[in-house]
Amino acid sequence: MMNKADSDLIRRQNRHLVLEALRFAGRAPRVELGRLTGLSLATITSITAQLLNEGLLLEDNTVAPITTRRGRPSVDLSLNPSATHVIVLKISIGKFEMVLADYAGTRVAHQIKTVATYDMKIHDVGKKAASLILAFLSEHNKSPADVRIIGIAAQGAAETGVGHLMWSPAFKEVNIPLTEPISRLTGIYCRLSNDANMIAEGLMAREHYLYKGTAAVIFMGYGVGMGLVIDGKTYHGSTGAAAEFGHMNHIPHGAMCRCGMSGCIEAYASDYGILRTAQGLPVNTPPPLDAVEPEVMMALETSARQGDGAALGAYVKAGEAIGFGLARMIALLSPDRIIISGPGIRAFDLAEPAIAASIDEGVVTALRQNVKLEKLPMDHDMIITGTIDKLLHDLDREVFARAEPAA
Ligand SMILES: [Zn+2]
């Protein structure tokens, strides 16, 4: 005989399976949900009735019901978009970007605010973010009560447990408190993560049914970041700031990095690093405080493709920094997938031969032969998409899977 704690746990797991299956499939009739989750039709019927009653699901009556062989009409179920909303706040150099998404994951509003981040005082950052979020909500006729969670995706090292941004190229200040002031001032629960981790989280949420392995997602662009997935879970380390691939040393005493150190991978492979090399500037030239404009990078890519030696050479140097870094990471972790993403992917063809050659040179064949190097096209903002996926996935698991106690 099952005790109450066990039956509550099973109901919670089953509710989670149903929500997750609908998040994955978009819409499905009950029979299909049974197939996707492995649960019996009776269990599916009982759980979906409960979820419909709680307003988490919608029953689609706009399409004519299909009649199954047993004569029972089959109606599609889907997640109810208006069940709740989430907000993503993406913090990068000089920019606060906000997206409001509904429970089904559709983006309903988007805003980019130019903010002079670098010179902000430590306690003004959370205040500024909270006031922008409240104004953003009211502009779209929403109140904090309509939003269940805010997810901050920040450039830099994020201490996820305490919600502090330990260090970021966007700010002069360090250890900036974010989640506490934003939660307090908006009344909405808030979480903080590193931006590259969110790309990895998004991919894992999306490929959840397919993927349980070890993977590294490399972000190339204004900086160089990594999201690390070990055995199907994002790895955060003791402080939440693990996998700072961009700030692993590539050349001792080498080029000046935005983090204040010398010789980091990022100092060669980020936009500013590539540009500095191409311009023939000394390696101790301090990185610019602002992000390099995309147009500047696109012009550099064009020059390289037209055969400009200095531009091409800069992409080779970038490729070497990434490739030797990946070789060390492969020797250490034996991932099965390495996914390269970020706006820097535009120039991937220019850096790829050097990346491949450096991996070959940096680690023995036996260790690297099963690693797959993939390119993830940046047709939309993967950091924001990943954060939305992660927030909704967390809400399903931590909040909505909790069953109401049985009567
Ligand atoms: Zn660095």
Per-residue pLDDT at 6: 84
Residue 260 Cα to ligand 1 middle (Å): 6
Amino acid identity, position 103: Y
Residue 250 Cα to ligand 1 middle (Å): 10
Q: Where are the domains of the chain?
A: 4-79, 83-199+384-396, 208-378
The pLDDT tens digits of the residues spanning 32-75 come to 999 999 999 999 999 999 999 999 999 987 655 555 555 556 78
* CATH value of 208-378 in 3.40.630.30, 3.40.47.10, 3.30.420.40, 3.10.20.80: 3.30.420.40
Residue 59 Cα to ligand 1 middle (Å): 51
Burial class (CB in 10 A: 0-12, 13-18, 19+), 63: exposed
The pLDDT tens digits of the residues spanning 214-244 come to 999 999 998 999 989 898 888 888 877 788 9
Please check whether the two domains, 4-79 and 83-199+384-396, share a CATH topology. no
Residue 268 Cα to ligand 1 middle (Å): 10
Per-residue pLDDT at 66: 55
Percent of residues in the chain assigned helix, strand, coil, to nearest 5: 45, 20, 35
* CATH value of 83-199+384-396 in 3.30.420.40, 3.60.20.10, 2.40.50.140, 3.20.20.100: 3.30.420.40
The pLDDT tens digits of the residues spanning 174-205 come to 999 999 999 999 999 999 998 888 888 877 77
- Top-level CATH class of 4-79? mainly alpha
Question: Can you spell out the DSSP letters for 21-55?
Answer: HHHHHSEEEHHHHHHHH---HHHHHHHHHHHHHTT
Most confident of 81-90, 152-161, 382-391: 81-90
Q: How far apart are the first and last CA of the chain?
A: 18
Residue 404 Cα to ligand 1 middle (Å): 49
Instruction: Name which residue leads in pLDDT, 337 or 207.
Output: 337
Neighbours of ion ligand 1 (CB under 5 A): 247, 257, 259, 261, 264
Per-residue pLDDT at 208: 60
Dihedral of CA atoms 193, 199, 201, 206 in degrees, nearest 10, equals 150
